Amino acid sequence: MTPSTPAAGHAAPFKPRLSLVRILEMNLGFLGLQFSFGLQQGNMAPIYSYLGASEAQIPLLQLAGPMTGLLIQPLNG
């Protein structure tokens, strides 16, 4: 038996062919999600200033969310 043929009794997994429109439809939700995160991130600087952060601290505060996601997400799986 060659590696490219499925084992006896096991069918090869079916992978439907997706059109470009279908792929774009599936990614449209992620576009909205990224857009909303961008708007949220852009509007946080005045809130940080209102809470008492200095101009030098604001870039560090804006990096806290993405860096936390970068470190914690692989741990959660």
Indicate the average pLDDT of the chain.
Answer: 87
What does the pLDDT average to over 9-35?
A: 88
Residue 54 has pLDDT above 80, yes or no: yes
Q: How many CB atoms lie within 10 A of CB 32?
A: 10
**Higher local confidence (pLDDT), 11 or 32:** 32
The model scores a pTM over 0.75: no
